[in-house]
Amino acid sequence: MENGHNLSKSAVIENIPLACSDELAAVEFLEKQRWGSTPACVKCGSVEVYKMKDAKTGERNSRYLWRCRDCKEQYTVRIGTVYEESRIELRHWCYAFWRACTSKKGVAALEIKRHCQISYKSALFLMNRIRFAMAPDPDAPKLKGVIECDETYIGPRKPRYKGTSKHGRGTSKTPVFVAVERQGQLCRRVIADVTANTLQGAIREEVDRRSRIITDEHRGYLGLENKFYKHETVSHGTYEFVRRDVHTNTAESTHALVKRGIVGIYHNVSREYLHRYLWQFDFMWNTRKMNDGERTVLAMKAAEGKRLMYQEPTQSL
């Protein structure tokens, strides 16, 4: 046992609902996730540490402080994590993580506000940090194997200019690209446009060159086969949706899931913030084979590691 990764699955699932309702349980849950059975000082790394007690009651200190016998520093489990930046109770963090990691279509900040009885601003703060924790790892390996690529438009239907088409292309909807491994992981991103330059640039960045790529007949994908990829297309225009295994059904179903979530839970999202919501949907897709407890713990761990990278000037609590 060297750290919290060793918690058994059943322990994780039993502890999360309790951690969502009781602050001491939340603190101890996060301590266990972070340190496992050997708590260490966050300042010097010493394991000569102890939980501080309240002198009157003999119970745990009301701020859940630890103290290090070596460097004499006091600290809590919040130090050095995403939780350090807010005073929101840890049980609310646990609840928001749990809900975000167990709801396929996502969870609205308004719902977190109501359930935790915190301000809307606090609920938004929680959800933005959680979505950031779910953002893809920039060092993740490229997708490989059989890859379906597809582009779609997400967002409000209202056209930006009069005279343009009311649906899809030519409106104020935001173009989004996805590359998805059959049975595997996906990468999705907001793109500037659906030109060959943009689409194929995204493919080069996300997909290993030895892959077999399947797309529809959108002109943006023409010529991919000259760039080391094996490329096959399915022609939707002639009602040829599935030719043997040449189809883009997986890519289309992931887009459909995102669209239902964006409209149903978030009631549309502006172009500026759309990528954050995509992080959440894609995290759920990429961890779909995990159980709810494992997925929640994974997101919590990711939040710790990403704390310092978060830049959002308009947010402060």
**Interface residues toward Zn ion, by CB under 5 A:** 41, 43-44, 46, 68, 70-71
Q: Which residue has the tokens 């939340």?
A: 26
Give least dist CB 68 to Zn ion, A. Answer: 3
Give least dist CB 77 to Zn ion, A. Answer: 14
Closer of 35 and 283 to Zn ion (Cβ): 35
66-68 and 174-181 strand pairing: unpaired
DSSP code per residue over 73-123: -EE-TTTTSGGGG--S-HHHHHHHHHHHHH-TT---HHHHHHHHT--HHHH
Give least dist CB 5 to Zn ion, A. Answer: 23
Give least dist CB 42 to Zn ion, A. Answer: 8
* Beta carbons of 275 and 190 less than 8 angstroms apart: yes
Give least dist CB 121 to Zn ion, A. Answer: 35
Q: What residues contact residue 149 under an 8 Å CB cut-off, 6+ apart?
A: 177, 178, 179, 180, 199, 203, 207, 213, 214, 215, 221, 248, 251
Closer of 49 and 207 to Zn ion (Cβ): 49
The identity of residue 52, as a single letter, is M
Closer of 75 and 241 to Zn ion (Cβ): 75
174-181 and 146-154 strand pairing: antiparallel
Closer of 43 and 259 to Zn ion (Cβ): 43
Closer of 63 and 72 to Zn ion (Cβ): 72
